[in-house]
Amino acid sequence: MPTKTFCSKLLLAAICLTLIAILAKNVLPKRSLMLVPTSSPDTNYFLLDPEHPNARWVDRDRFHFHCKFNESESNMPCNLVYMLSLDSINGTDLSSFDYFNLDIKYTGNAKKLRIAFRHYDSRFSKVSDTNSTKFNVINVRTKDLTKPLRINLNELTVADWWLGEYDLPRDQTHPDISNAVTLAVDFEGDLRATEHDVQINKIEFTGDWVSTENWYLAILLAWLAFGAGFTIIRLIKLHQTEAQQRTKISDLVATNSKLRTETDKFRKLSTVDALTNAFNRHGIEQIIASLEIRLDATSIIMVDIDHFKRINDRRGHDIGDRVLQQISAAILKSTRSTDKLGRWGGEEFILICPNTSVGMAMALAEKLRIVIFDTVFETDNPIAVTASFGVAAVLPNEPFASAFKRADEALYNAKALGRNCVIVAEQDNPL
């Protein structure tokens, strides 16, 4: 009994320490890298304008510069370049940071300000060719610069012009700032006959000292070590009954796993259409019930296969079933994981789209219409298949049944207008 009490207290202590560790992750201080303001030598940053004097410093110590473009100078460079390393090959690893804080005061006509990171990679970068360093960019709307911004580094993309110029394998085209050599700030858009005044007050990179993944991995490893130790203690005291207990546990685990498998199987059978792998009506009704409290952010798309009875009559129900399967697969492939597809009737489908405006739903329906139109059904003996679509958005405080009726009426109108088209409910404004 004393041993059992000790083990219980030890387990309780481990649980408490785990909870403290989980909570501590959010309050631990962050590590940071301050670029602006900086005490680094002046050679660490400069204005790039090799051919034309359209750039000047207003106050270099405060990262304040001015650019002026004439009518014929839209492509002239005018950007601030910050050297992350005086070595053009061995740069700074920024990939371990999560985001950077940006505080820029801007006056001018540009709609977007571009933040660009040059990344050196020996696989494709050359010292003699500056452009061969990977061009990772984030575009920021200038109207958003009225207050400091926090920009996640996962928003970075590789510039299209760079990808087009350098033919790289797919595994080398993703954003990468693990060896960043420069950071540049310039402008996007037509810059002819414009002036721009930029003062960079702050660029600070921030991230965790220990990544979230490694933090929780450490907790997991600690629990594994604790479990191993706990098991050893128990085995020392209970070695005589070890085999018996292990057998019981194994049987319970196997039984539980079997029950879970069977439960999952029956749960799926009760909510999923076996033919199309879409939700059945019962499954869709469950989804609708879960969305009832936020239906004002939901749109509905009704889909009906045109002349489906003709396919069944002329080619047989087996072919008709395969058409249903292909259409369901095409829709699932072309929609988000949050969009829920259900088979509402024989050849009728319903698509529930949370957080989707009626305009977005109309665009999605048109996309699906084209996908179905372009799909080749029965390659040996092709069938031309089209579908009609009815779209409606759930209006504020509107019951789902009312929105569904409007979507169904829109679908009926699409069929009446010749099929193979998208119709939005009259009460909705796609704009």
280-301 pLDDT, tens digit each: 999 998 888 887 656 567 899 9
Instruction: Pick 74 or 209 by higher pLDDT.
Output: 209
The CATH T-level fold of domain 31-207 is Jelly Rolls (2.60.120)
Average pLDDT, the chain: 85
Q: What is the mean pLDDT of residues 139-166?
A: 94
**pLDDT tens across 197-231, in order?**
999 999 999 988 887 778 788 888 888 888 887 77
Question: Which pLDDT belongs to residue 429?
Answer: 60
Question: Which pLDDT belongs to residue 416?
Answer: 94
Question: Which pLDDT belongs to residue 248?
Answer: 79
**pLDDT tens across 99-134, in order?**
999 999 999 988 999 999 999 999 999 988 888 999
Structure token digits, residue 131: 């452009």
- 3-state helix/strand/coil string of the chain: CHHHHHHHHHHHHHHHHHHHHHHHCCCCCCEEEEEECCCCCHHHEEEECCCCCCEEEEEHHHCEEEEECCCCCCCCCCEEEEECCCCCCCCECCCCCCEEEEEEEEEECCCEEEEEEEECCCCCCECCEHHHCEEEEEEEEHHHCCCCEEEEHHHCEECHHHHHHCCCCHHHCCCCCCCEEEEEEEEECCCCCCEEEEEEEEEEEEECCCCHHHHHHHHHHHHHHHHHHHHHHHHHHCHHHHHHHHHHHHHHHHHHHHHHHHHHHHHHHHHECCCCCCECHHHHHHHHHHHHHHHHHEEEEEEEECCHHHHHHHHCHHHHHHHHHHHHHHHHHCCCCCCEEEECCCCEEEEEEECCCHHHHHHHHHHHHHHHHHCCECCCCCECCCEEEEEEECCCCCCHHHHHHHHHHHHHHHHHCCCCCEEECCCCCCC
Instruction: Pick 161 or 236 by higher pLDDT.
Output: 161
Among candidate residues 183, 172, 177, the one with its CA nearest the CA of residue 123: 172
pLDDT > 70? residue 83: yes
Residue with tokens 């660490």: 44
Structure token digits, residue 203: 């660029």
Instruction: Pick 239 or 269 by higher pLDDT.
Output: 239
Q: Which CATH number fits domain 281-424: 3.30.930.10, 3.65.10.10, 2.60.120.650, 3.30.70.270?
A: 3.30.70.270
Instruction: Pick 232 or 295 by higher pLDDT.
Output: 232
Main-chain dihedrals φ then ψ at residue 147, nearest 5 degrees = -140, 160
Question: Which pLDDT belongs to residue 245?
Answer: 73
Which range, of 27-36, 131-140, 241-250, 372-381, averages the lowest pLDDT?
241-250
What is the pTM for the complete model shown? 0.48
At 342, is the pLDDT very low, low, confident or very high (cuts 50, 70, 90)?
Answer: very high
Asked whether 302 and 393 are in contact (CB, 8 A), the reply is no
At 35, is the pLDDT very low, low, confident or very high (cuts 50, 70, 90)?
Answer: confident
Question: Which pLDDT belongs to residue 405?
Answer: 94
pLDDT > 60? residue 181: yes
Question: Which pLDDT belongs to residue 75?
Answer: 61
Question: Which pLDDT belongs to residue 74?
Answer: 58
Which range, of 136-140, 152-156, 425-429, averages the lowest pLDDT?
425-429
Residue with tokens 């010292």: 127
At 147, is the pLDDT very low, low, confident or very high (cuts 50, 70, 90)?
Answer: very high
pLDDT > 60? residue 261: no
Among candidate residues 281, 158, 223, the one with its CA nearest the CA of residue 21: 223
pLDDT > 70? residue 2: no
**pLDDT tens across 392-431, in order?**
999 888 888 899 999 999 999 999 999 999 999 987 765 5
Dihedral sign, CA of 82, 46, 157, 153? positive
Residues identified as active-site: 347
- Tell me the C-alpha distance between 426 and 407, whole Å: 9
- Tell me the C-alpha distance between 158 and 138, whole Å: 9
At 160, is the pLDDT very low, low, confident or very high (cuts 50, 70, 90)?
Answer: very high
Which range, of 10-19, 125-134, 271-280, averages the lowest pLDDT?
10-19
pLDDT > 70? residue 315: yes
Asked whether 363 and 399 are in contact (CB, 8 A), the reply is no
Around Cβ 72, how many Cβ atoms within 10 Å? Answer: 9
pLDDT > 90? residue 4: no
At 269, is the pLDDT very low, low, confident or very high (cuts 50, 70, 90)?
Answer: low
pLDDT > 80? residue 189: no
